[in-house]
């Protein structure tokens, strides 16, 4: 069965919040970003975009392009507050929400017995009522097309892409609309006379692999409306942790254990709130040469008491030979499960609990102001060394 995917993305998010909170800025070019000498634009209102201003542009350049603009610094806490309201609306529709950024998410509404267009329009309405802001929504049968759709007629956009529209509707689009084609590739393609998706469609998969490497295969499929990537909810967010860069590099194990105790308390509390247990405890340390070392221990039982977590951390730390100074200590638990005795399968009913965990993760990250709770996949991407035994 074809999936029903919705992609939503707030319009000129930071700038719209500013215009909403300060109605005198409405209809005016508002530029939000770093206001210091080397600052860059975070985003700007659609009124400011007419002057050629865009995200990531140096602020001095934006000032040159639009001297009479309203230049504001970033109020991240406020934007996070609004973001939380938006995500509450999304989670009230389905637990199958994949947050992409502070203002963007995918929803898989395949199993909801309602027309996806109606759901998308309801989201738009609720977001407007709750926050006073507009969100653009796209509906389609995969993530790639849903995202294209939400971008179709921004701001306050709404677009549905159905199977019968493919590939014709894609043909006139610039190649930059395709995931994996950045500015550099775009220029390269241009020099080869390839400007639109229509041009790209004429190339074989082999041609695309020659040009882009492995990602060429994905590009080949995407532009034909094929994208099997699932909407990834929090089910795969499977790690809770905390770390701290020490005020002074140390070799003092007592101090490291002191932090391990503090972190165990925090982690335990979060496991309780999320209704989860953990089976793996990982100690992370950064040495004064900035090398990152990790050492994990996986138990044959699930734990969540602070004392249990600390005992494992204690054992790991006690066994580490400290021949270098430590500048950062971290503790995390993974291999999480909603039940104590068995590993849950992917299809298990832990979805809701995992979602709770992720919401909590987001809250903790917000509270602490740094990202301590991560997706397992992100952890795997970190280049870490195993601590020598
Ligand atoms: N952002 C940032 N720096 C960037 C890009 C974005 O700080 N280089 C922030 C500011 C944006 C927010 O993230 O408001 C969301 O990013 P989007 O890419 O969704 O951009 P906007 O929501 O601002 O505009 P659009 O209407 O194009 O979605
Ligand atoms: Mg946006």
Element (H, E) at 366: helix 351-368
CATH number assigned to the domain comprising residue 290:
3.30.1490.100
Same domain, 40 and 66: yes
In the chain, the N- to C-terminal Cα span, in Å, equals 51
**Residue 94 Cβ contacting ligand 1 at under 6 Å:** no
128 and 187 together in one domain: no
pLDDT averaged over every residue in the chain: 87
* Same domain? 335 vs 283: yes
Q: What pLDDT score was predicted for residue 360?
A: 60
Atom of ligand 1 nearest to the CA of 74: 7
Query: Ligand 2 centroid to 355 CA: how many Å?
Result: 23
Shared domain check, 369 and 292:
yes
Please indicate, yes or no, if residue 148 is contained in any of the structural domains.
no
Number of compact structural domains in the chain: 3
The pick from 13, 153, 182, 183 for probing ligand 1's pocket by mutation, whose C-beta has the most ligand atoms within 8 angstroms, reads 13
| DSSP H or E segment with residue 379 | helix 376-381
If you search the block for the tokens 């007592």, which residue do you land on?
A: 254
- Enzyme catalytic residues: 104
Last residue of a domain, one of 140, 159, 178: 140
Q: Is residue 151 within 8 Å of 139, Cβ to Cβ?
A: no
- Which of ligand 1's atoms lies nearest the C-alpha of 44? 23
- Cα(160)–Cα(116) distance, rounded to whole angstroms? 9
Q: Do the Cβ atoms of 177 and 148 come closer than 8 Å?
A: yes
Distance CA 181, CA 339 (A): 43
The verdict on residue 327 lying in a domain is yes
Q: Are residues 215 and 104 in the same domain?
A: no
Convert the pLDDT of each residue in 134-147 to its tens digit. 999 999 999 999 99
Q: Is residue 179 part of a domain?
A: yes
Please tell me the distance from the alpha carbon of residue 253 to that of residue 255, in angstroms, as a whole number: 5
Query: Does 346 map to a domain?
Result: yes
Q: Is residue 149 part of a domain?
A: no
From the list 66, 74, 65, the residue with the least C-alpha distance to 13 is: 74
Strands (E), the chain: 5-10, 30-33, 41-44, 70-72, 97-101, 104-108, 135-140, 158-160, 239-250, 278-287, 292-303, 326-334, 385-386
151 in any annotated domain: no
Distance between CA atoms of residues 157 and 79, nearest Å = 21
> 196, 222, 248: which is the final residue of a domain?
222
Residues 6+ apart with CB under 8 A from 16: 10, 45, 133, 134
Atom of ligand 1 minimally distant from the CA of 33: 7
| CATH number of the domain within which 203 lies | 1.10.150.20
Taken in order 176, 181, 182, 188, the sign of the CA dihedral is negative
Q: What is the pLDDT of residue 1?
A: 72
The pLDDT value given to residue 96: 86
378 and 246 share a domain?
yes
Residue 267, preceding bond cis, omega within 30 degrees? no
Distance from Cα 14 to the centre of ligand 1, integer Å: 7
308 touches ligand 1 (CB under 6 Å):
no
Alpha carbon of 330 to ligand 1 centroid (Å): 31
103 CA closest ligand 1 atom index: 15
If asked whether residues 278 and 376 sit together in one domain, one would say: yes
Domain shared by 92 and 130, yes or no: yes
pTM score above 0.85: no
Which of the residues in the chain have pLDDT under 70?
Answer: 234-237, 273-275, 338-389
Would you state the pLDDT for residue 183?
Answer: 85
How much distance in Å is there from the Cα of 100 to the middle of ligand 2? 11
Look at residue 3 and tell me if it is in a domain: no
Same domain, 122 and 182: no
Task: Assess whether 119 and 175 both reside in one domain.
Answer: no
Cβ(175) to ligand 1 under 6 A?
no
Give the separation between CA 274 and CA 357, rounded to whole angstroms: 5
DSSP track, 187-216: HHHHHTT--BHHHHHTS-HHHHHHHHTTHH
Nearest CA-CA partner of 328 in 226, 248, 214: 248
- Regarding whether 327 and 354 lie in a shared domain, the answer is yes
Is residue 1 assigned to a domain? no
Task: Report whether residue 42 contacts ligand 1, using a CB cutoff of 6 Å.
Answer: yes
Residue indicated by tokens 């007629």: 153
Going from the Cα of 13 to the center of ligand 1, the distance in angstroms, rounded, reads 6
Residue 9 CB–ligand 1 contact under 6 Å: yes
Query: Same domain, yes or no, for 207 and 259?
Result: no
Range of 58's domain?
8-140
Task: Mark which of 120, 140, 160 sits at the end of a domain.
Answer: 140
């Amino acid at each position: 069965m074809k999936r029903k995917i919705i992609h939503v993305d707030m319009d000129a998010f930071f700038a719209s919040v500013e215009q909403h909170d300060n109605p005198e800025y409405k209809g005016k070019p508002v530029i939000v970003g770093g206001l210091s000498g080397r600052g860059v634009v975070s985003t700007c209102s659609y009124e400011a975009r007419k002057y050629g201003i865009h995200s990531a542009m140096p602020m001095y350049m934006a000032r040159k392009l639009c001297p009479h603009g309203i230049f504001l610094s970033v109020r991240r806490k406020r934007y996070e507050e609004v973001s939380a309201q938006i995500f509450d609306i999304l989670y009230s529709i389905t637990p199958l929400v994949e947050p992409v950024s502070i203002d963007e998410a995918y929803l898989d509404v395949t199993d909801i017995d309602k027309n996806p267009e109606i759901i998308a329009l309801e989201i738009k309405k609720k977001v407007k009522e709750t926050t006073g802001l507009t969100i653009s929504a796209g509906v389609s049968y995969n993530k790639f097309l849903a995202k294209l759709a939400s971008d179709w007629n921004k701001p306050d956009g709404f677009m549905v892409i159905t199977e019968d529209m493919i590939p014709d509707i894609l043909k006139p689009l610039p190649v930059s609309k395709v995931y994996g084609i950045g500015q550099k590739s775009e220029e390269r393609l241009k020099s080869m006379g390839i400007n639109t998706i229509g041009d790209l469609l004429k190339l074989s998969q082999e041609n695309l692999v020659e040009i882009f490497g492995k990602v060429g295969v994905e590009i080949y499929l995407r532009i034909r409306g094929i994208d099997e990537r699932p909407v990834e909810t929090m089910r795969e967010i499977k790690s809770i942790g905390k770390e701290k860069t020490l005020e002074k590099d140390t070799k003092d194990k007592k101090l490291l254990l002191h932090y391990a105790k503090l972190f165990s308390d925090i982690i335990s509390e979060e496991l309780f709130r999320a209704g989860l247990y953990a089976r793996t405890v990982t100690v992370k340390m950064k040495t004064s040469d900035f090398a990152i070392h990790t050492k994990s221990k996986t138990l044959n039982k699930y734990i969540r008491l602070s004392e249990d977590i600390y005992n494992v951390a204690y054992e790991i730390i006690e066994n580490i030979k400290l021949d270098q100074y430590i500048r950062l200590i971290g503790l995390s638990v993974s291999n999480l499960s909603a039940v104590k005795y068995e590993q849950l399968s992917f299809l298990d009913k832990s979805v809701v609990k995992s979602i709770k965990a992720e919401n909590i993760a987001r809250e903790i990250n917000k509270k602490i102001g740094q990202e301590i709770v991560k997706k397992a996949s992100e952890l795997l991407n970190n280049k870490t060394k195993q601590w020598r035994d």
